[in-house]
Amino acid sequence: MYIYSLIIDNVSRNCYNRVSVKGGAVVQSLIQITDITLCFFIKNIKTMEVLVMKYSERVLEELKKNNPYQPEFIQAATEVLESLSPVVDTDPRYEKAGLLERLVEPERTIMFRIPWVDDNGEVHVNRGYRVQFNSAIGPYKGGLRLHPSVNLSIIKFLGFEQIFKNSLTGLPIGGAKGGSDFDPKGKSDMEIMRFCQAFMNELYKYVGADEDVPAGDIGTGAREVGYLYGQYKKLTNRSEGVLTGKGLSFGGSLARTEATGYGLVYITEELLKDHGKNIQDARIAVSGSGNVAIYAIEKAEQLGAKVISCSDSSGYIIDENGIDVDAVKQIKEVERKRIKEYLNYHPDATYGEGSVWDNVICDVALPCATQNEINKVEAQRLADSGCYAVCEGANMPTNAEATEVFLDRDILFLPGKASNAGGVATSALEMGQNSIRSSWTFDEVDAKLKGIMINIYYHMKEACEQFDAKDNFVAGANIAGFMKVADAMMAQGIV
């Protein structure tokens, strides 16, 4: 405000000096001049604010202005750009190269219609997306989400996060994401097949083993990947590693199904160990009951933890005797029913509607359901009830206010771009196996996965210490992921 006041004073003084004092006329002249001065100042105040902003702040303001109806994307970009300030605002090379402006803008955004026919002969039209965000360090890589909530903002947020997640793995893969607002729930196998084939009829033009390699995500499991791959092969007459998460009989990798959940637990175990705690006998709460949640429960229980919860969009289960992961697999992977069916296997468990985070008490929280599932109130409740670590299994399952609570309360917190990177890491390992026309054993892939997750943890820790942000793994993950991408972008010129 001092700068603004000085500008007003100087302009007013200059105007006053140009006024000839002629009796009462001076008052009217000064009023007119002051009005003009203030109008000029008010119209240009935004310009002056921009001039005193940091580079990262200016890019973020411009991003908000250009994307006013994309809250998920803005939330993700805000978190990243704020944590990158110590890096990009102290090195003028980045601003000169327009690096942040290029980083937050996708290289390519593809939207298309997906017409398909249901079992009754009725025609439906869904919208398909593929956002190819950044290929500086390798071909685009990221999943395909099938869910009614899918829109451009969510796909851009996921694609943007994927840049840093993929970079953290240390493997040569760029960031992308795609999907559709199609809802696979309640659809027959034939309807799922027809939709996937219609989706690939357009998507195949933009993907390839060395260009863009999609994978599964929410709503896209082994069945959907199989249908997508079959249609790609028919359209192109090529058998190549264009998708990951494939079946073992046509190029898939052992341990890919388990990878995201296992990887989450491996990095959680390393985090606890590095802070003098042990995952064995820890009381762990998990949300979700999809692929990530199921295999996080399985691995945590193998390591001696007691997992007491899981959930789906209809409600949650709390089982003080420990979650029976085999029952959850039967309900979700075989019968494809709601989690309430768990009571048929274990009547002593508790079922409730709403959020599990309103009711569970735990040492470690592993949110594995969906974005923004933990809010500020729920975060405060977790902190007050003794939770000492939160590691994200889903993509951005804690909202910005909840994340601040965890950081302010000194709760160990790992962001999803680091802690759920096991899935994409193993997808990259699948790509490697496809390229050499070979396959590795489960133990080989699992060992590589564990090594990658441990390396991610220590890369984050090193970045935290380098930029004086001890145990702020949000900043550490963003900085560590950014540096590799930034070096590649700088080396490749303005493209």
Sequence-ordered list of residues with C-beta below 8 angstroms from that of 29, at least 6 positions apart, any chain: 19
The encoded tokens of residue 405 equal 């609570």
Tell me the two tokens of residue 461.
């820790």
Q: What gap in Å lies between CA 410 and CA 406, rounded to an integer?
A: 6
Return the number of other C-beta atoms located less than 10 Å from residue 339's C-beta: 21
Residue with tokens 């054993």: 441
- How far apart are the C-alpha atoms of 444 and 355, rounded to whole Å? 38
Give 487-492's long-range contacts (Cβ < 8 A, gap of 24+). Answer: 488/136, 488/137, 489/97, 489/99, 489/102, 489/103, 489/136, 490/93, 490/94, 490/97, 490/99, 492/136
Q: Could you tell me the two tokens for 28? A: 């009217």
Best CA proximity match to 243, nearest among 322, 326, 144? 144
| Whole-number Cα distances in Å, 328 to 102, 288, 349, 356 | 44, 11, 13, 16
125/240 Cα distance (integer angstroms): 29
Residue 385 contacts residue 361 (beta carbons within 8 Å): yes
Strand pairing category for 364-367 and 283-287 = parallel
Residue of 165, 177, 299, 461 with catalytic role: 177
Instruction: Quote the CA–CA distance of 473 and 46 in Å, as a whole number.
Output: 34
Interatomic CA distance for residues 229 and 236, integer angstroms? 11
Q: Which residues contact 440 (CB under 8 A, 6 or more apart)?
A: 253, 254, 429, 433, 448
* β-sheet with 108-117: strand ranges across: 108-117, 123-134, 174-180, 140-146, 212-215
β-partners of residue 140 are 174, 212
- Give catalytic status of residue 187 as yes or no: no
- Nearest CA to 349 out of 324, 367, 378, 373 is that of 324
Catalytic residue numbers read 177
